[in-house]
A and B are shown apart, each in its own frame.
Chain A
C-alpha cells in the first residue's frame, strides 16, 4: 500500500472498511454505548478529521481502527485483513507494520534522545525512513541529540510524529495531537501532518474536538453519542497556517 498515487483515491478503494460496529462498555452497573452500529470507509491517501465532543465515541473508533480495542459487534476490515477476527499477536503485527500513532501527550521514551526515539521504531521496521530524514521532515534536524526533557511540548510532538512516520506506515492515527499544545505550536504540528499526507501519501486520521481543524481535511466526519451524524467533503482544503481558533 506504500506510495499510493493520488488518483487512486478516486478509485473508491477503502483502506479501512467499518461495518455496523458497536462498542458497549460496562461501567459498574451501567452500560455505556460508545459506538452504535457505525459504518465508515477510509480511503488511501486521504486526510480525515473525526470531529466530536468528548464522550462522543471518536476515540473508541480510533482505538478500534488502530487495533487497540475490539468492537462488541460488527466488523472492521483493513484491506484484506479482518481486524475483528485477529488475535493479539496479529494485532501487534498490524500496528507494527501498518499504523503510526500520534498521542496527545507524545509518550516519548524519556531515556532516549530524539534520534534514538525514532531509531527505536526504525530498527523493528522492514523498510523505514532514515531516522534523521524523518526528523528533518518535522523540522527537527538540529535537535537530534536532545532528550525529551530538553524539548518543548511542540518539539516533543514533532518527534512523536517523526517516530510515527519513520516506519512508512500506511495510516497515521492522531488522537488530539494539538490538545496539549498552545496555538502556534499546535499549528506547526498540523503543518507537519499535512506535509506527511501530501509528500508521503500516508492516510491521516485526526480526531479532535476542535472544529477549526476540520477545514484542512479532505473529509470531515462528525460523531455524536456513538453515531456518525454528518459527513462532508471539503471542496477546498485550507492550509494549516490559515487556520485559526
Chain B
C-alpha cells in the first residue's frame, strides 16, 4: 500500500463520524433506488411473462347478449388473433362467517381444461369436473380473505335461486392481478371475489345458451387497437355493447401500470435528493480537509507529487465514502425490496413475483454514487491543483469578514456579540448556507409528504364517506324496479331511512369529446347522498339538468349552461340533449347527478328505481344483512363501514411502514447535514472557541456559539421545508390525479408540527454529539500555536 493510501485510510478513520454520516445518506438513496428499480423490473417482468403465458387479452367488450356466431365474424376481422366469448355475471354471495352479503363475479370457463384467453393459474385444488355444474374455482385473494379452501362451499343467488357452489380450486388470472370491483376505489377482497364456473352452467342459469355477454380478444402483432375497437363497436352496438376498450381501460391492468409507473418515478426522484445531499456533504468535508492539509499538500508538491496524484488522493476519499454508502444501501434496498414484494403480493397476484436485484441495478447504483462523489469532490480537488507549493506552506490567511447586510440595515445593535458571530459566519459563506438550508428543507419536506398521505386520506374519507355518501348500505336491484319497491325496503329490519336512486348507463357527448358514465338520479331532498362544492357547501339539486363533477366537466370541456348530448346505453337507447345545470367537487370517480324524477322523465319511464340508499340501525344490521343475502331481487349490496374498515386495515398498515421509512430517511438527512456542519464549524473554529474557554467562557457558552449557526440554519430551513413539502404534495396530487380519484391537498397543522419536531430532534441530537467533543478541547495548545 502506498504511503498516500495509508494517509487516506487514516484520514477516513479520523473523520469516521462525518464519513459515516455521508455514507448513511448515500445508503438511503441507494436503498430506495435498488428497491424501486428492482421492484419496477420485477413487476414489469412478472407482468409481461404472466400476460404472455396466460394470454391476457388486448381488447374487452361487454354486451347484453350476442349470439355465438358473432364470435367467428369478429375472429375474421383484420388484426384479430384470437377471440374468446364468455358469460360474466355478478351475483350476491352468502359467504360462511361473513354477516353481510358479498358480490361474486361469475366468469365462465370451459368444462374441460383447454388453453383460453385470460387463462387461470391454479394455485390449489383442481379444474372443475365436466358435468358437475355446481363446481367453481375461486380467486385467491377472495379465498384468503375469507379463509376458503377447496372442498368447502359457498352460496350464491343465481337468477333468483340460492345455489350451493363447491369450491374445486383456487386460482389467479392475468385479468384480475388486482381484484377490484368496477365502482370501487379500494379493493375489498372480503366482499368481492371472482368465481370461475362452467360455461354450460352459467349459460343455462342466465339464459345465455348459444350466446355470450362478454368478449375479449388478442390482437395480431402490429394490429391497430383503435381500428379493431371501432369495428367491434359497430358490430356489437346492436347487442347492447357499451363500447369496447383496450388494456388501458381494463381496471386490473390500469392499477398495475400505475404502480409500475410510480415505482419508476420514485426510483429516480427520491435517490436524486439523497445523492445530491451526499454530494454537497462530501464537498463540505473535502473542502475542509484540503484547507487543513494545505501544508501537507505543499510538502507533497515540493517532493514532486503531481497535481493529478494528490487530486486523486482526495477524490478517492469521496469515492470510498460514497461506495461504502452504496455497500450499505444495496443490501438494505434488497431487504426493503423483499418487504415491498411481500406487500405487493397482498395487492397484485402473480404466479410468482420474483424480486431479484439484477446486476445492471448494482452497476448503476455504483455508477450513480461514483458520479455523486465526483460532483462533490470536484471543487476541492481543483483547489488542490491550483495551490502553488510555496503558497500552500503558509497558513491559510485569516478568514476575512466584512460588514454585511446586518450592519447595513443597522441590525447588529440588536444582537449580542455571540449572535453576531453566528450571523457573520452564515453571511460569509452564503452558498454553503443555502445548500445546508436546502438539504434540511428536503428533510422537512420528506416528513411532510409522509404525513400528507394520512391527512389526505383522512380528509377524503371524511368528505366522501361521511359528508357525501352518508348511507350505511347501498342496495342495487338485479333489474330496475317500480319505485313502490321503496316501501318494501323501508320495512326491512333496522332500516331507519331509505332513499331511492336510479342509475342509467349513458355516453355523454360534447362537441368531439365523449365519456361513458352512469347518470345517478337521486331524491332532491335526500339526506343520504349530498352534493357538495369544493368548499364543502351543500349544492341543491336543480329540478332539471345535469350536475357533473368538476373532473368530468373538465374531461368533456363543458361548463354550466352548456348542453350535452346524452346517449342512453340501455333500454330503447334514445339520445337527448340535457343542460349542465351545476358543477360539484368529488374526489372519487366521475359522477353525473340528476333529480330522480327528471331522469325518469328523460328515460320516458314511470317511477323507476335501480336501488336505494339505506340508513341502518347498527343493532339490527346483522338481521338486515342476512335478509339481503337471501333476497333474489338484490343484485348488489355495498356496506360503507365494512368497506372502509377493510381498506383502512391494509392501507393503514402499509402507510405506517412507509411513513416509518420516510421518517428514518428524513432523520438521516437532517442528522447528517447538521452533524457535518457542526463538525466542520468545530474544525474551523476550534481554536477560536478554545481561546474563549481560556479567557473564561464556560463550555455551555461556547457550545451555543458553535451550534447556534446550525440551529439558525435549521430554523431557517423549516419554512422552506414546509413550502417545499407542500409543493411536492401538490405535484403528487397532480401526478396521481386520475378519473378514479383525486387526492385533496390537505396538510393539517399537526403534520407541520410533526415535521418541525422530528427535524429539530434530529438536529439537536447531532448537535449534542458534536458538543460532546468540546470537552476535549485542548486549552493549553492555543496559547502557543497559531491556528
Residues of A whose CB lies within 8 Å of any CB of B are: 59, 62-63, 66, 68-69, 89, 92-93, 95-97, 99-101, 103-105, 107, 109-112, 116-117, 119-121, 123-124, 145, 147-149, 163-164, 167, 175, 180
A116 touches B399 (CB 8 A): no
The 12 listed contacts between A and B (C-beta, < 8 Å) are A59-B783, A68-B694, A89-B698, A92-B698, A96-B695, A96-B696, A99-B695, A109-B421, A110-B688, A111-B399, A111-B428, A120-B692
B749-787 CB mask vs A (1 if < 8 Å, else 0) is 000000000000000000000000000000110111111
Q: Which residues of B (280-306) have their CB < 8 Å from a CB of A?
A: none
B694 touches A101 (CB 8 A): yes
Shortest distance from the beta carbon of B574 to any chain A beta carbon, whole Å: 83
Residue of A nearest to B424 (CB): A111
A110 touches B417 (CB 8 A): no
CA distance A95 to B697 in the complex (A): 9
A123 touches B416 (CB 8 A): yes
Contact of B701 among A99, A101, A124 (CB under 8 A): A124
The size bracket of the interface on B is 35 or more
* Residues of the B chain whose Cβ atoms lie less than 8 Å from the Cβ of A93: 696
B695 touches A149 (CB 8 A): no
* Residues of the B chain whose Cβ atoms lie less than 8 Å from the Cβ of A95: 694-696
CA distance A93 to B428 in the complex (A): 33
B227-269 CB mask vs A (1 if < 8 Å, else 0) is 0000000000000000000000000000000000000000000
16 other A-B residue contacts (CB within 8 Å) besides A99-B695, A120-B692: A62-B783, A69-B780, A89-B698, A96-B695, A96-B698, A97-B696, A101-B691, A101-B783, A103-B782, A105-B786, A107-B691, A111-B399, A116-B420, A123-B416, A147-B400, A149-B398
B537 contacts the other chain (CB 8 A)? no
* Residues of the B chain whose Cβ atoms lie less than 8 Å from the Cβ of A123: 416-417
CA distance A186 to B507 in the complex (A): 97
Q: Which of A62, A109, A167 has the most CB of B within 10 A?
A: A109
Shortest distance from the beta carbon of A82 to any chain B beta carbon, whole Å: 19
Shortest distance from the beta carbon of A99 to any chain B beta carbon, whole Å: 7
Shortest distance from the beta carbon of A127 to any chain B beta carbon, whole Å: 14
* Residues of the A chain whose Cβ atoms lie less than 8 Å from the Cβ of B779: 68
CA distance A116 to B696 in the complex (A): 16
Residues of B whose CB lies within 8 Å of any CB of A are: 397-403, 416-418, 420-421, 424-425, 428, 687-688, 691-699, 701, 779-780, 782-787
A119 touches B417 (CB 8 A): yes
Contact of B420 among A59, A101, A111 (CB under 8 A): A111
* Residues of the B chain whose Cβ atoms lie less than 8 Å from the Cβ of A99: 695-696
A100 touches B695 (CB 8 A): yes
Residue of A nearest to B693 (CB): A92
Q: Which of B688, B696, B779 has the most CB of A within 10 A?
A: B696
A124 touches B697 (CB 8 A): yes
Contact of B688 among A96, A100, A101, A109 (CB under 8 A): A109
Residue of A nearest to B412 (CB): A116
* Residues of the B chain whose Cβ atoms lie less than 8 Å from the Cβ of A103: 691, 694, 782-783
* Residues of the B chain whose Cβ atoms lie less than 8 Å from the Cβ of A119: 417
Q: Which 9 A-B pairs have the closest CB atoms?
A: A96-B696, A107-B691, A120-B417, A95-B696, A111-B424, A105-B786, A110-B399, A147-B401, A149-B400
CA distance A172 to B465 in the complex (A): 78
* Residues of the A chain whose Cβ atoms lie less than 8 Å from the Cβ of B786: 105, 180
CA distance A99 to B402 in the complex (A): 31
* Residues of the A chain whose Cβ atoms lie less than 8 Å from the Cβ of B783: 59, 62-63, 68, 101, 103-104, 175
CA distance A96 to B398 in the complex (A): 26
Shortest distance from the beta carbon of B560 to any chain A beta carbon, whole Å: 63
Q: Which of A119, A120, A147 has the most CB of B within 10 A?
A: A120
CA distance A119 to B419 in the complex (A): 12
CA distance A180 to B784 in the complex (A): 11
CA distance A43 to B424 in the complex (A): 42
* Residues of the B chain whose Cβ atoms lie less than 8 Å from the Cβ of A120: 417-418, 692
CA distance A36 to B658 in the complex (A): 67
Residue of A nearest to B688 (CB): A109
Shortest distance from the beta carbon of B450 to any chain A beta carbon, whole Å: 38
B688 touches A107 (CB 8 A): yes
Q: Which of B398, B693, B694, B786 has the most CB of A within 10 A?
A: B694
A111 touches B401 (CB 8 A): yes
* Residues of the A chain whose Cβ atoms lie less than 8 Å from the Cβ of B398: 110, 148-149
* Residues of the A chain whose Cβ atoms lie less than 8 Å from the Cβ of B416: 123
Shortest distance from the beta carbon of B87 to any chain A beta carbon, whole Å: 83
Shortest distance from the beta carbon of A157 to any chain B beta carbon, whole Å: 13
CA distance A41 to B520 in the complex (A): 103
* Residues of the B chain whose Cβ atoms lie less than 8 Å from the Cβ of A63: 780, 783
* Residues of the B chain whose Cβ atoms lie less than 8 Å from the Cβ of A147: 400-402
Contact of B697 among A96, A145, A148 (CB under 8 A): A96
B694 touches A116 (CB 8 A): no
* Residues of the A chain whose Cβ atoms lie less than 8 Å from the Cβ of B403: 145
CA distance A62 to B694 in the complex (A): 12
Shortest distance from the beta carbon of B254 to any chain A beta carbon, whole Å: 60
Shortest distance from the beta carbon of B402 to any chain A beta carbon, whole Å: 7
* Residues of the A chain whose Cβ atoms lie less than 8 Å from the Cβ of B688: 107, 109-110
Contact of A111 among B397, B425, B698 (CB under 8 A): B425
* Residues of the B chain whose Cβ atoms lie less than 8 Å from the Cβ of A109: 417, 421, 688, 692
B696 touches A149 (CB 8 A): no
* Residues of the A chain whose Cβ atoms lie less than 8 Å from the Cβ of B692: 109, 120
B399 touches A149 (CB 8 A): yes
Residue of B nearest to A118 (CB): B417
* Residues of the B chain whose Cβ atoms lie less than 8 Å from the Cβ of A69: 780
* Residues of the B chain whose Cβ atoms lie less than 8 Å from the Cβ of A111: 399, 401, 420-421, 424-425, 428
* Residues of the B chain whose Cβ atoms lie less than 8 Å from the Cβ of A167: 696
Contact of B695 among A104, A121, A145 (CB under 8 A): A121
CA distance A21 to B693 in the complex (A): 24
